[in-house]
Amino acid sequence: GENVEQHPSTLSVQEGDSAVIKCTYSDSASNYFPWYKQELGKGPQLIIDIRSNVGEKKDQRIAVTLNKTAKHFSLHITETQPEDSAVYFCAASKGFNKFYFGSGTKLNVKP
């Protein structure tokens, strides 16, 4: 089955700096890659996603890049704010409604 690895497990940045979280996947048939943000005591919320026919997608301060050849994708957050502090999860799917999740990155944005 698919194996998704996520790094780093924790990330601390100063407010206003950029944050980058990276994920690798093993199954070249995976074609959908969502990113979720999870706040304490809450369920994950979808923040951005990308499909395999696209190399990059942006939504305001958030962007995701995908390298199909290397089988990795990354989340980029620019101009970080304290409210960006949360746990972020990547996932990969090739369909059949099965998602494989990374182990999560705890992002701490220091004011």
Q: Which residues of this chain interact with other proteins, rule CB under 8 A?
A: 1, 4, 6, 9, 31-32, 34, 36, 41-46, 49, 51, 89, 93-95, 97-99, 101-104
Residue with smaller CB distance to other proteins, 48 or 77: 48
Residue with smaller CB distance to other proteins, 8 or 17: 8
Backbone angles phi, psi at 6, to 5 degrees: -130, 135
| CB 87, min distance to other proteins, A | 10
Residue with smaller CB distance to other proteins, 41 or 111: 41
| CB 52, min distance to other proteins, A | 10
Residue with smaller CB distance to other proteins, 32 or 68: 32
